[in-house]
Chain A
Amino acid sequence: MISIQNISKSFNKDSVTALRNINIEVERGELFGLIGPDGAGKTTLFRILATLLLADEGRAEIGGRDVVRDYKAIRRTIGYMPGRFALYQDLSIWENLQFYASVFGTTVAENYERIKPIYSQIEPFKDRRAGQLSGGMKQKLALSCALVHKPDILLLDEPTTGVDPVSRKEFWDILQLLRGQGLTIIVSTPYMDEARLCDRIALLQKGQILEQNTPDGIVSGHSEPLFSVRGPNMFALLQAVRLWPGTYSCFAFGDSHHAYLRPGAKPADLKDFLHQKGFENVAVEAIQPDIEDIFMHLLPA
């Protein structure tokens, strides 16, 4: 459905590389996640797909149409939600929706069924100005507006950034529902926990794809043992673990530190090392890595 081949893009006369040789294939009806921190190149990739930006190299197709040549046709088949809230703040919910429907030559009534699951949640406030909505409601409105012309493909650039956890959960429930209706969705997020909710993901860092697979595939593809380290004085502990020669990498992870060890290094030796350094009651346990661990592990040290 979406085919991205060898896309590269740089800015400021090639001094900043935003994307380097990106290859992604997204199947029809798939929920595909672009996972990566700020500045990874997610927005640039979305803009190229949304026909707003021309790539320096490579080509991309959406539904068999070239994003450069057939941009007019593509604009009718995609629903794009930019990373920044981009609706008219001084128009009401209803006016925004109606406006985007008429811009695509259709009406809200005609496509009510498609937007109903989302729009019904904000419909009680339909006369409220978009600028006065909460973050979660804004995102629901933006999604409604992106869906009002019945697109086949949704491009959602960080739709849950700056949204509270409950609204984030609701938003992902809606995405699952839309996927069930046959839409192809590409969504980007900096939140690793949301990666689990996608069919397939690509880990993006500094314009390059580190890995591309199903979430389970990515986790099972990395069998390096991972250990959680927990003890008093967490910050000094982090420094100490990193000092140990057998540590490959260690990073703070909520209330514990996650450490990858070099081949042959034993966790018991780490515990001894930490004891020598004066850390008492340190717990070192083997744990199952999650996508965030793998992402951190894949980052160039």
Chain B
Amino acid sequence: MLSALIRKEFSQILRNVNIIRMMLMAPLIQLIIIPLAADFEVKNINLAVLDRDHSTYSHKITNKMVASGYFKLVDMPHDEAAAQRAMDEGRADLALEIPAHFERDLVREDEATVKIRTDAVNGVKAGLGMNYGGQIISAVNNEIRQDFVQMPRFNPLPMIDINTRFWYNPDFNYRHYMAPGILALLLTMVGSMMCALNIVREREIGTMEQMNVTPVKSWQFLLAKLIPFWVIGLVSLTIGLLACFLIFGIVSAGSYLTIYLFAMVYLVAALGIGQLIASFTDTQQQATLFSFFFMMMFVLLSGLYTPIESMPPWAQWLAWANPVTHFVDVMRSVVLKGSTFMDLLPRFWSICGFAVLFNVIAVFSYRKRMG
């Protein structure tokens, strides 16, 4: 009986051109577009410099900023009002103001100030611009200090030299960081959304009613819905991993077997979510809205785009109650860090837990008879 049900699901799915298209195209398009577009590294910050000093040092700061590659000099206003205007009109993201007598004060008084203002409408750009700008100015500052200290003293100024290395992603390549996470997202979509829509469709077009008078048990019906999407999920994952390699040259540092092992369990959890959505909705429209809401919550609280550590404690708590978080973390750990299955064992148990929880609730909430 189960085999008949599964055969029916497969022949329906394979006839549905849209599902096939989704299955093949979704991973490719997502992988190509999102990692390229959603880049946290900000370049081309538009810079306006109000230089009231016109000294060697003030030129040095300006030149260093532009030479860093992060900034693009768009304006050299002559007064504060013009600088403000450049920012108001959106031409400049960051305005650097070097006061008059900057060099003189620095030499004579050993102290001078510069003023940086940023357009905080785009928070990420403002924060990063401020950060980069500050780093460059302090680098210039150090150089100047070394110029001053001509003769090595008995005790040279103690300096801590910060030498950074990006472990697990040596080039700090944003794509390597995003792509595995997007694959995790993809499996969530196939599992929850596609499965939910498929089940609800049966209710909407009335075939569920016919199905319910047959001896088919609810677990059989649901299992037959689950298996094809489980297979589709794994096919999508394979296409996604291939695309990762072909497009970005990403080769997993860890074992692909680990990835698949986790994906197999994770898909069961995602399918459980899909079944739950289906059991609380009556039409495909409702199911779409419902799963859209869940996807938004899951994605934004998964640490895919924003680090979980920077969320407030209650949100962190929510994030760890979100199955997507665990799988995104697993995908990144395996692909970038080369974590082994044993390293990730706690994650494995959590994902297993989600899988059991969602599916048990789903089976209990699917009723053949109405009240």
Binds B, one of A21-29, A72-80, A132-140, A200-208: A72-80
Contact between A86 and B209, CB atoms less than 8 A apart: yes
B207/A103 in contact, CB under 8 A: no
Known contacts A51-B369, A82-B206, A88-B8; is-contact A104 B213 (Cβ 8 Å): no
The contact of B369 among A53, A89, A103, by CB within 8 Å, is A53
- Residue pair A75, B369 in contact (C-beta under 8 Å): no
Interface residues in chain B, defined as those with a beta carbon under 8 Å from any beta carbon in chain A: 1, 4-5, 8, 11-12, 15-16, 205-207, 209-216, 368-371
A residues adjacent to B (C-beta < 8 A) = 47, 50-54, 71-72, 75-76, 78, 80, 82, 84-91, 95, 98-100, 102-105, 145
Task: Select which of A95, A104, A105 is within 8 A of B11 by beta carbon.
Answer: A95
- Say whether, besides A52-B370, A88-B8, A99-B4, A104 and B214 are in contact (CB < 8 Å): yes
Contact B8 A99 (CB under 8 A): yes
Instruction: Give bound CA distance, A89 to B201, whole Å.
Output: 12
A-B contact pairs, 19 of them (CB 8 A): A47-B370, A52-B368, A52-B369, A53-B370, A54-B370, A71-B369, A76-B215, A78-B213, A80-B210, A82-B209, A86-B205, A90-B12, A91-B11, A95-B11, A103-B5, A103-B215, A103-B216, A104-B215, A105-B1
Q: A52, A72, A82, A103: which contacts B4 (Cβ < 8 A)?
A: A103
Question: A103 to B224, alpha carbons, bound, how many Å?
Answer: 12
Chain B residues closer than 8 Å to A54, beta-carbon distance: 369-371
B48 to chain A, nearest CB (A): 61
Residues of A near B210 (CB, < 8 A) are 80, 82, 86-87, 145
Complex: chain B residue closest to A56, CB-CB? B371
Q: Is the CB of A90 within 8 A of B209?
A: no
Contact A105/B213 with A86-B205, A99-B4 known, Cβ cut-off 8 Å: no
Given A52-B368, A54-B370, A76-B215, 6 extra CB contacts under 8 A: A53-B369, A75-B215, A85-B206, A86-B210, A90-B16, A105-B1
- Tell me which residues across on chain A come within 8 A of B211, comparing CB atoms: 103
State the 3 A-B residue pairs at the shortest beta-carbon distance, nearest first: A102-B4, A86-B210, A86-B206
A76 vs B213: C-alpha distance when bound (angstroms): 8
Q: Nearest Cβ distance between residue A158 and chain B, in whole angstroms?
A: 13
- Chain B's closest residue to A78 (CB) is B213
Contact B214 A75 (CB under 8 A): yes
Q: B11–A103 contact, CB under 8 A?
A: no
Report the separation of the CA atoms of residues A95 and B15 in the bound assembly, to the nearest whole angstrom: 13
Q: Give chain A nearest CB distance to B215 CB in angstroms.
A: 6
Q: Which residues of B contact A102 (CB under 8 A)?
A: 1, 4
Most buried by A among B12, B15, B210: B210
Q: Is the CB of B209 within 8 A of A52?
A: yes
Give the Cβ gap from B51 to chain A, nearest Cβ, in Å: 71
B68 to chain A, nearest CB (A): 59
Q: Which residue of A lies closest to B5 (CB)?
A: A103
Contact B1 A103 (CB under 8 A): yes
Known: A52-B370, A82-B209, A103-B1. A91 touches B12 (CB 8 A): yes
**Chain A residues closer than 8 Å to B370, beta-carbon distance:** 47, 52-54
Contacts of B207 in A (CB 8 A): 86-88
Are A72 and B215 within 8 A (Cβ)? yes
A50, B16: Cβ atoms closer than 8 Å: no
Contact of B214 among A84, A89, A98, A103 (CB under 8 A): A103
Which chain A residues lie closer than 8 Å to B214 at the CB level?
75, 100, 103-104
Cβ of B125 to closest chain A Cβ, rounded Å = 49
Q: Do A91 and B8 touch across chains, with their CB atoms under 8 A apart?
A: yes
Contacts of A91 in B (CB 8 A): 8, 11-12
Q: Is the CB of B205 within 8 A of A89?
A: yes
B residues near A95, Cβ cutoff 8 Å: 8, 11
List, in ascending order, chain A residues with CB within 8 A of B4's CB: 98-99, 102-103
A222 to B12, CA, bound (A): 54
Cα of A103 to Cα of B216 in the assembled complex, Å:
7
Alpha-carbon distance between A86 and B203 when the two chains are bound, in angstroms: 10
CB distance from A107 to the nearest CB of B (A): 10
Contacts of B11 in A (CB 8 A): 91, 95
**In the complex, which residues of chain A have a beta carbon less than 8 angstroms from the beta carbon of B369?**
51-54, 71
**A51 CA / B215 CA spacing, docked (Å):** 12
Check A80/B213 contact, CB under 8 A, given A53-B369, A86-B205, A90-B16: yes
Residues of B within 8 A of A86 (CB): 205-207, 209-210
Assembled-state Cα–Cα distance A164/B60 (Å): 90
Report A-chain residues with C-beta under 8 Å of the C-beta of B205: 86, 89
**Contact partners of A75 in chain B: CB under 8 A:** 213-215
Say whether A52 contacts B212, CB under 8 Å.
yes
A132 to B98 CA separation, bound complex (whole angstroms): 77
What is the bound-complex CA distance between A90 and B215, given in angstroms?
Answer: 22
Q: Which residues of B contact A52 (CB under 8 A)?
A: 209, 212-213, 368-370
- Chain B residue contacts of A88, Cβ below 8 A: 8, 12, 207
Which residues in B have their C-beta under 8 angstroms from that of A87?
A: 207, 210
In the complex, what residues of A have CB within 8 A of residue B215's CB?
72, 75-76, 103-105
Most interface-central of A71, A76, A88 (chain B CB within 10 A)? A88
| Contact, CB under 8 Å: B368 / A90 | no
Interface centre among B8, B206, B371 (most CB of A within 10 A): B8
Residue of A whose beta carbon sits closest to that of B209: A82
With both beta carbons as reference points, the residue of chain B lying nearest to A74 in the complex is identified as B213
